[in-house]
Homo-oligomer: A and B are copies of this chain.
């Protein structure tokens, strides 16, 4: 399904999505056209979902992050999900098993910013908030293979 060369390409592109084909080719021991074709196929198959820029939220003024577990009140599940999707400060949200129905990541300018957002949810769901103190593992690839 995915050979050694594909895996190497994914690793290289994860580290630097703008790496030129020529350099990619050199590192995996192929020619540029071959690499070009492989990338096309990887995108087509959905292995590569997109090429994105990794922006540092702190440099945008979001110096605080919080992880919030959200338990919608009875009958409010869909309403809460819609609300979550519309709050732009929520940059990630998973719907999970268990009492906590949603687990969301919030980007915040300061602690009062958190207060304001939670106030807007308080009448539709219960929340448990954890403030992020450090990020020991930042977005990385799982083992390929």
Contacts and interface: CB of A to CB of B under 8 A. Distances in A.
A134 to B, nearest CB: 4
* Interface size grouping (class) on chain A: 35 or more
A35 interface: no
A103 interface: yes
Given A45-B59, A96-B131, A142 B89 contact: yes
A113 B44 CA distance: 28
Interface in A100-136: 100, 102-104, 107, 128, 130-136
Given A14-B53, A18-B18, A96-B67, A137 B84 contact: yes
Given A53-B17, A89-B143, A138-B92, A59 B81 contact: no
B55 A95 contact: no
Contacts of A135: 92-95
Contacts of A55: 10, 14, 47-49, 141
Contacts of A14: 52-53, 55
Contacts of A102: 136
A94 B128 CA distance: 15
Interface of A: 2, 10, 13-18, 45-57, 59-60, 62, 65, 67, 81, 84-85, 88-98, 100, 102-104, 107, 128, 130-144
